[in-house]
Each structure stands twice: as structure tokens, then as C-alpha cells.
Amino acid sequence: MSAKTIIEKIWEKHTVAEEQGKPALLYIDLHMVHEVTSPQAFEGLRLKNRDVRRPDLTFATMDHNVPTVNRFTVVDEIAQKQMETLSANCRQFGIEIADLESPDQGIVHVIGPELGLTSPGKTIVCGDSHTSTHGAFGALAFGIGTSEVEHVLATQTIWQSKPKTMQVHVEGKLGLGISAKDVILAIIGKYGADFGTGHVIEFTGDAIRNMTMEERMTVCNMSIEAGAKAGLIGPDETTFDYLRGRRFSPDNFEEATQEWSALATDEGAEYDARVTIAAEDIEPQVTWGTNPGMCISVNKAVPDPESMTTEAGKKGARQALAYMGLAPHTPMADIPIQHVFIGSCTNSRISDLRAAAEVAKGHTVAANVRAMVVPGSQKVKLQAEKEGLDQVFLTAGFEWRESGCSMCLSMNPDFVPEGERCASTSNRNFEGRQGKGARTHLVSPAMAAAAAIKGHFCDVRTLETEPVS
Ligand SMILES: CC(C)[C@H](C(=O)O)[C@@H](O)C(=O)O
Ligand code: SF4
């Protein structure tokens, strides 16, 4: 038998039907649902008089539209309608939902792993691009469109063309104070925002192996920002330790771990493409432009579009700098910010909040800065409050919010006003992402907290920090 990657192993185990040169029909083990991309899909089922094939493999939450202050007072009519519709659909079709009153509510990609719904070897889909987050557990997890949501609801399968495979190898050891966010930004910065197109990425190497599950989720979350279909990491003891005892983890857990271990990419298996990056070269990253590939070390200056190697690159950089209101050669550390957002499915888990609190403790948010911390789920919020992190943030002058997608995208009351600048721990810095004319700079939680305190970007490694517990 030939050597296989974990990607091929999961693919083959889930193929229901396949014809040469055509997409394959894949079985889906877990379907996560949220309020934005599901209403039409459920409506489609009703119109065709169909049922949900496996409500037990479907799980819903509300996250995008949820206000993070006074969450029960939704002023936006569309938001209110989408949330009500999701509740009604889940009632009608017998799907479990983590609604606003549930202690399980949170961003869909935060709660899946928390509940143990996400596990190695599964095929996982959701009408949401950052479904790749779940790949951190060695699952094949990818975003789908609304018509595909309907197809999965009705059949528990999906048509998919076989993706190519790519290995992204992060060699060596990360420097002190370098986070998973810096790693994924540096990879996308080095190879561009589309190098993964058509591929599923497997992240490998010591730097990845040494990461916690939460850090691995940050890396896989942003594989979609490299253009990839999905990103994953082979499961190991770190994965099993995280999942042991979670609500939906299998009863025969130890047996399951043996099966999961067998998913590992075989020695000698070949990928369609391979790139590497040296961990020790990675510095704290900040984006300067309007896609996640436009990023650089905080200790460098805004690049000169004229230094780009292609005409398209020059044009793209010129446009990005015009939108961002930045001049070439400005040191990144000199750029003042007015907003800080610590949250999103990339960086709103407990370890992210701990990292930010460690920087914030004993400091005060700069006078001209509005900074907010938005936990990814109610569970994260509760845990943070148990540890006193909310008090650390509040004392330093940060706002402490309820869980949801919040300022990651302006689909709820949290947004950045036109022309203003935000240091954000989210995953997308596209034009208008955090509000019309808003200027987004992607950073890690520690770097965001440091920017909040200084009022401009700074290398977090140069700040004095205090342990929070
Ligand atoms: C609203 C949703 C469809 C969207 C996505 O697919 O990713 C959102 O989560 C995002 O991050 O842009
Ligand atoms: S936090 Fe942001 S990226 Fe994640 S699902 Fe919500 S809107 Fe999308």
C-alpha cells in the first residue's frame, strides 16, 4: 500500500461515490450552523418538503449578529430576524442550538472544539469560511455556501472536487514572545494571500508540534487567508488531552485515540506542494495593507510599492496604502491607532485573553484609544472571570463584552468609524471589513494589548509584563 497523507486518509474514508474526473460525494460527520448562512437553506428544505437527514450530527449557534452589550436587546431588524429564524428552524427540525440563553453560546468555531464536537478524522462543514479552524484537531474541515448547507442538511453529504495537498513546514523553535498568530501571519506574508489555492494544507514541524490546541486553532483558522481550502494538523497527545472528558467526546475515548493516531501522514507520503519557514526568524507581525499577506515585522517600515517585483504587486500596494492612509517608509511602530479589538474565532480563547491580560496588567489604555475584549464564547467569558482577567482589563481601561463575532466584521453594533485605525486580533483586513472606511491592522492578542497601552504599535517583547496569576 502506498504512503498516504492524513488528508488522503480522511478523504478516502468519507467518499460515498466517485467517478473519474468528477467531484466525489463525501459523507459529512459534523455540520455546524449559524444564523447568517442558514435561513435560505432551511427554507429550501421546507419548499421541497424535505427533512434534516441527521439532526444529531448538526449543531447550531448564533454569533455574527449578537450584540456584545445588552445582548438581548437586538436593535437591528435583520439581525433579530436571522436569530429568531434560526431558533425556529432548529425547533422545527430537531437541531440542538446554543442560543443567547445557552451557557454554550459563542462563535461557531470556538464552541465546536469546546464541546468536543470537533474531533480527529471527521469531515466538518459549516456555511462559514473559517471552518478551517477545526482542522487543528486533524479533521478535514471547510466552509461551504448556502446551497451546499441545504444539501448537507438534506443528505449529510456534499459534492467536492478532490483537493491537492500541501505541506507547510515550520522548522525549529519560536522565539520568546512569538505567538501562533505571528506564525500564520508570517507564513502568509512570506508566500502571499493565495499560495494555498486549491490545496488542503497540513502544518508540520516542531514549532507546530509544540503548540497548544488553542494555538493550533489560530494557525488553522487563517489557512483560508492563504487561499487554501482547509488547513489541518495531525492529532497527537496534545489533541487527545484537550478532548478527553468533553461533552461530545466518544465514550470509548482511549480506543478512539488509537484510531486517531493511525490518521498520521505516513512516512514517505508525498504532497503536491511543500513550503517551509524557519521559526526562529519570525518576529511579531502587523499587517500594513488590505489583505493578510500584506504584513511585516513590527520593527520594519511600511514597504514602498515601487519596491514590489511585479506591476500587479505595485498597483495592489499603492491601492492598499491609499485606503490605509499610510505613507511608504513609515516605521510600523510610529503608526497611531484609535481602536483595539481583542476577539474573533482567531484569537478569543482563554489563552489569548491570558496573553493580552498579561500585557495589560498594571498599565492603562492610552487616552485616545478605545479598546475592547470580546470572549469567543460564554465558557471562555466565565473562565476569564473566574481567573479575574475581566478585572485586569477593566482596571486598565478596556471594555469587557459578551461573546460573539463582534468587531471582526461589522454585522452587529461593533464597528470602527470611517478613516479610523484598529489593531485587531481577527483574521481579515479587507477594505470595509470592520466598518465602511475602517482601517484594520491584524496582530496577535499580546501585540493588540501593547498597542492599546502605547496608542501605537510596539514590539510587545520590549514591554514590561506581569504574570496574571
Ligand atoms: C458571514 C460569514 C458567511 C462569513 C464567512 O463565511 O466567513 C464571516 O464569518 C466572515 O468571517 O467573513
Ligand atoms: S469571528 Fe469573524 S471570522 Fe470568525 S466566524 Fe465570526 S465573522 Fe467570521
Locus of grid cell 500596494: 317
Quick one: which atom of ligand 1 is closest to the CA of 427? 11
CATH of domain 285-462: 3.30.499.10
Please name which ligand lies nearest the alpha carbon of 126.
Answer: 1
Alpha-carbon distance 107 to 97, whole Å?
12
C-alpha 128 to ligand 2 mean position (Å): 8
Q: Determine whether the annotation assigns residue 345 to a binding site.
A: yes
Beta pairing partners, 158: 26
C-alpha 409 to ligand 1 mean position (Å): 8
- Using alpha carbons, select from 426, 441, 454 the residue that is nearest to residue 360: 454
| Closest residue by CA, ligand 1 atom 2 | 128
| Closest residue by CA, ligand 2 atom 6 | 405
Residues with CB under 6 Å of ligand 1 are 36-37, 64, 128-130, 143, 409
| Residue 427 Cβ contacting ligand 2 at under 6 Å | yes
CB 400 within 8 A of CB 416: no
Contacts of 369 (CB under 8 A, 6+ apart): 337, 338, 339, 340, 451, 452, 455
CA gyration radius for the chain?
A: 21
Q: Determine whether the annotation assigns residue 408 to a binding site.
A: yes
| Residue 134 Cβ contacting ligand 2 at under 6 Å | no
> Strands, DSSP E only, in 324-405?
339-342, 370-373, 399-400
| Residue 225 Cβ contacting ligand 2 at under 6 Å | no
257: helix, coil or strand? helix
| Residue 34 Cβ contacting ligand 2 at under 6 Å | no
| Residue 426 Cβ contacting ligand 2 at under 6 Å | yes
pTM of this prediction? 0.98
What is the longest distance spanned by two Cα atoms in the chain? 64
Quick one: pLDDT at residue 468? Answer: 78
Delimit the CATH 3.30.499.10 region(s) of the chain: 6-275, 285-462
CATH of domain 6-275: 3.30.499.10
CA 306, chain centre distance (Å): 32
C-alpha 171 to ligand 2 mean position (Å): 29
Q: Determine whether the annotation assigns residue 220 to a binding site.
A: no
| Closest residue by CA, ligand 1 atom 6 | 128
C-alpha 16 to ligand 2 mean position (Å): 31
Per-residue pLDDT of the chain (469 residues; tens, 9 = 90+): 699 999 999 999 999 999 999 999 999 999 999 999 999 999 999 999 999 999 999 999 999 999 999 988 878 899 999 999 999 999 999 999 999 999 999 999 999 999 999 999 999 999 999 999 999 999 999 999 999 999 999 999 999 999 999 999 999 999 999 999 999 999 999 999 999 999 999 999 999 999 999 999 999 999 999 999 999 999 999 999 999 999 999 999 999 999 999 999 999 999 999 999 999 999 999 999 999 999 999 999 999 999 999 999 999 999 999 999 999 999 999 999 999 999 999 999 999 999 999 999 999 999 999 999 999 999 999 999 999 999 999 999 999 999 999 999 989 999 999 999 999 999 999 999 999 999 999 999 999 999 999 999 999 999 877 777 6
